[in-house]
Structure 1
Amino acid sequence: MEQPFTESEQAYLADRVAHYVGEVVERVTQVICEAEAAANADFSAQGFTFAEHSPANADYLTVCLMEELFRKVHSGDMAMAELMLTMMAKQEGISLHVD
């Protein structure tokens, strides 16, 4: 049975969760930057040079992480996956058509 919370308790909980989400995002962003730098140092040590951007750039690493976390959360439940994608699209103002 779920505990009923007052409006002020709900506001507090929402604020604290947002705070901790922000901390996680900050830490993960730092780890991604560190991974990009390590990959580029590795590539450079092997004599690789890239005309445009490194294959292990921060954007690519971020998308790879998002894919892995998405799979982890929906765990093969396609209805959950569809719901998650729909919710993310709506937050960005994108309309999705899912068959």
Structure 2
Amino acid sequence: MDIDLDQVLRALSHPDRRLFLRACRDAPRAAGELADLSNLAVATVSEHLKVLRTAGLLTLDKQGRNWFYRTDPAVLKAARRGIKDILGD
């Protein structure tokens, strides 16, 4: 899988984005649930989620009338490979 590593690293540069990514790793989460995890305004959370989606780190799934965010493990693995390539590991 090819990713834009620069875009992924920029998306990971904010601590709240990393928090949201971890929260969505094990179970799908609604935007409201993610907003409750931080002290940010809902509009700010929405912007952070957009950055994570644009980088491919989060996917958005519709279940009934609700939308849920989920971490894309393939993108995380590709990012890990890209970082390992930089480090020489």
TM-score of the superposed pair, with normalisation by structure 2: 0.27
Q: Which has the higher helix share?
A: 1
Bigger CA radius of gyration: 1
Q: Which has the higher strand share?
A: 2
TM-score of the superposed pair, with normalisation by structure 1: 0.25
